[in-house]
Structure formats: C-alpha cells, structure tokens
Amino acid sequence: MKETYPYKKTCLYCNEQYKGRLNSKFCTPSHKALYHADINRQNEEVENKKYDRYRMVVDLLIKNCEILDSVLEKNTVPNVSVTRNELLQLGFSFQYHTSIDGQEGYNVFMSFDKGLKILGVDTYEIVTKQ
Ligand SMILES: [Zn+2]
C-alpha cells in the first residue's frame, strides 16, 4: 500500500512531527495561518519600534510649534521677541528643529512653519514661514 504523504515533517508552528508532502511546512492549515499571523505581528512590532524614536522627535517639534503659537497668540504686536528662559519654562525643546533658514543675515531655527530668529544672547524673535 502506497502512503499518500510519505515524508516525515516538522510543523514550523508547533514543532510536532507529521506526515506530509515534501514541500509542506505545517501540520494543519490553521497552524499555517497562525504561523503567518505571528510573523506579521512580529514585523509590525519591529516597524513600530523603528518609528517610536521618530515619533518622539516629531512630538517634540509639534510641541515646540504649539508653544510658539501660544506665545504669538498672547501678543498682538508683530515681531514678538522671547527669551530662552521663557521658552524653557513653557517646555520648549532646543535640541530639535526641522530646518535652519537664513533670513536677512540671521539664522532661523524652524519647527515646521514656526521659527526662532536669533536676535542676541538668549533672545529670539518668533517668525512664521509664509
Ligand atoms: Zn502544527
């Protein structure tokens, strides 16, 4: 009598021995599905971890932008100047920016569309990119 599935195989999901075709990898279709679901979940976790550090920086940049917006909203005059200490007290993070624009000989450290133009020692003007 000829065996339909003559090969001794080991299931990739449960590690149990079974008899199957030469190219089969799983003892049951459900173990095949569970195995691939595990692989997909692991890949998602790797992707999420990879982007966590970028999300942290983007969150800081968004917060910076919101802080600059809040300072601008409290002032009705244009060319609002602010000190480093005032910004630090509001939680501004100076270590990240999206770009550095040159403006009339000044460096402007941008957080998206809002920026800090360095006016002097620890003094900045808040600028909005048009
Ligand atoms: Zn199995």
CA of 39 to the centre of ligand 1 (A): 15
CA of 6 to the centre of ligand 1 (A): 17
Residue 2 domain flag:
no
Q: Does the predicted model carry a pTM greater than 0.75?
A: no
For the segment 35-83, what is each residue's pLDDT rounded down to a tens digit?
999 999 999 999 999 899 899 999 999 999 999 999 999 988 878 899 9
The total domain count for the chain is: 1
Residue 71 domain flag:
yes
CA of 4 to the centre of ligand 1 (A): 19
- Residue 71's pLDDT is 94
- Residue 3's pLDDT is 59
For the segment 7-31, what is each residue's pLDDT rounded down to a tens digit?
999 999 999 999 999 999 999 999 9
Domain that holds residue 23: 7-128
Q: What is the mean pLDDT of the chain?
A: 92
In degrees, to the nearest 5, what angle opens at C-alpha 82 toward C-alphas 78 and 85?
Answer: 170
For the segment 86-123, what is each residue's pLDDT rounded down to a tens digit?
999 999 999 999 999 887 788 899 999 999 999 988 99
CA of 23 to the centre of ligand 1 (A): 15
CA of 48 to the centre of ligand 1 (A): 28
CA of 29 to the centre of ligand 1 (A): 9
Residue 33 domain flag:
yes
Residue 1 domain flag:
no
CA of 92 to the centre of ligand 1 (A): 54
Q: Which DSSP string corresponds to 33-68? A: HHHHHHHHHHHHHHHHHHHHHHHHHHHHHHHHHHHH
